[in-house]
Amino acid sequence: MRHLALLALAGVVSTPALAVGHLADVSVIDRDTGQTLQTHWHRGEYWVAGRPGAHYAIRIESRSHRRLLAVTSVDGVNVLSGDTAAFDQRGYVFDPWVGYDIAGWRKSDSQIAAFTFTSVPKSYAARTGRPANVGVIGVALFREQAPPVAQVLPPPAPPPRASAAESARSEAHDSAQGSALQEAPAAGLRVPDQRRAAPSLGTGHGRREHSEVIQVPFEREQSTPDEIIRIRYDSHANLVALGVLAPAAPPRRPEAFPDAPRLGYVPDP
């Protein structure tokens, strides 16, 4: 299946300890602080806590020796086209071992509208009449179709056994021809190397930013994803209410008499 996809033009620093995935490391970055949001595993799902109002990016770092296509969705919406997300849509193409920050809704080959954590009614999905899947980031990864492998044909079967006189007359000819059959397949047939305590959060359609990509062809190895990565997000308070995060310990109360009684007077400091 051949698609026109986008090739990212910028690299990033690796943060595998805070990422999830196998073919690629996927993490969520708070762009205002530069911090990678910690992922939390809870009842079969990954979660991150977002800060309302913060700009964020989805960081994808390939761990494959082959090119990958990442069809990426936010709140059930494809981040490139704005269509309700499906596997057979366009995505970002990653060269082997390359990383890129997807920081917004793609508006053109040179511009995005920044991802922002906002209230559900202000999210892009809700504003376009699709609030049902607000609160989830999805990355469907596809390996590229490998180029065809050239096949080396075996040499033909030897001719029928001849008489001694005929063998002597044709010995030199047969020897040279046999040599040619052995050497010919080696020329040009090398296989190429393949390297809820508060309102829930949604993702808004934020400020316009410059972001360059180029369009490239990509042929998938298969029509179904090789890996699907799903990360849910909400506010810290809601993750505590859902049991994803433990509540913060209450602040320590200062004690008027923290030590046992003792005799004497005030010593010098």
Per-residue pLDDT of 112-125, as tens digits, reads: 999 999 999 999 99
Whether residue 21 lies inside any domain: the answer is yes
pLDDT of residue 122: 97
Choose from 17-26, 124-133, 140-149 the range with maximum mean pLDDT. Answer: 124-133
pLDDT of residue 77: 98
pLDDT surpasses 70 at 178 = no
Lowest mean pLDDT among 26-40, 46-60, 178-192: 178-192
Report yes or no on whether pTM surpasses 0.85: no
pLDDT of residue 51: 96
- Residue span of the structural domain in which 53 resides: 2-146+196-241
Instruction: Give me the DSSP letters along 87-150.
Output: TTS--EEE-TT-EEEE-EEEEETTEEEEEEEEEGGGSHHHHTT-GGGTTEEEEEEEEBPPPPPP
Q: Distance between CA 90 and CA 230 in Å, rounded?
A: 18
163 pLDDT band (50/70/90 cuts)? low
Residue 99: is it exposed, middle or buried by C-beta count within 10 angstroms (0-12/13-18/19+)?
A: buried
pLDDT of residue 108: 93
Q: Distance between CA 174 and CA 182 in Å, rounded?
A: 12
Whether residue 71 lies inside any domain: the answer is yes
Token output for 109: 């080959």
Whether residue 258 lies inside any domain: the answer is no
Whether residue 217 lies inside any domain: the answer is yes
- Report angle CA 81, 125, 209 to the nearest 5 degrees: 60
Whether residue 34 lies inside any domain: the answer is yes
263 pLDDT band (50/70/90 cuts)? confident
Whether residue 152 lies inside any domain: the answer is no
Q: Distance between CA 207 and CA 3 in Å, rounded?
A: 29
Whether residue 172 lies inside any domain: the answer is no
Whether residue 79 lies inside any domain: the answer is yes
| Tokens 């062809």 -> residue | 217
Mean pLDDT, residues 172-194: 34
Mean pLDDT, residues 86-115: 94
Question: How many domains does the chain contain in total?
Answer: 1
